[in-house]
Amino acid sequence: MTLTRRNVMIMGAGAFVAFGLPMRATAAAEDRIAEFTGGAAMADSGITLTAPEIAENGNTVPIEVAAPGAVEILVLATGNPTPGVATFKFGPLAASQTASTRIRLAGTQDVVAIAKMSDGSFAKASSNVKVTIGGCGG
């Protein structure tokens, strides 16, 4: 199609909307966090989130969470279409409150892990992962 001035303006508007989209995805993650913590403050230490700095394949990104004394750990991918990844609940026979798994990341984003401790407090860790090929089906 010929590149008229109207087309350029529409493309520009589209680009503006696309730029705004990542912000909305983070809002969904904020809602999940508020739901999990009930709005309580989260400490910076007490939970470790291990994730690669660069993930070549967004379809399978290995992560590990560890939070000694935690009852539950919530993992969110703030830049995915839906931020929820997994919730780990540790029972009485868990030797340590650690877990590893592989997740899908749609693009470069922050992965967030929040631990609910047995005393009711919360701790948060986040890790920025650069993704070269997105893992949510394109």
Q: Which residues bind other proteins (CB under 8 A)?
A: 59-61, 77, 80-96, 98-105, 135-138
Based on CB atoms, which residue is closest to other proteins, 6 or 48? Answer: 48
CA dihedral of 63, 64, 67, 72, whole degrees rounded to 10: 60
The pair of three-digit structure tokens given for residue 15, joined into one six-digit string: 């680009």
Q: How far is the CB of 83 from other proteins (least distance, A)?
A: 8
Based on CB atoms, which residue is closest to other proteins, 38 or 91? Answer: 91
Q: How far is the CB of 9 from other proteins (least distance, A)?
A: 27
Quick one: which of 31, 18, 138 has its CA closest to 83?
A: 31
Q: How far is the CB of 109 from other proteins (least distance, A)?
A: 11
The pair of three-digit structure tokens given for residue 119, joined into one six-digit string: 């005393």
Based on CB atoms, which residue is closest to other proteins, 41 or 93? Answer: 93
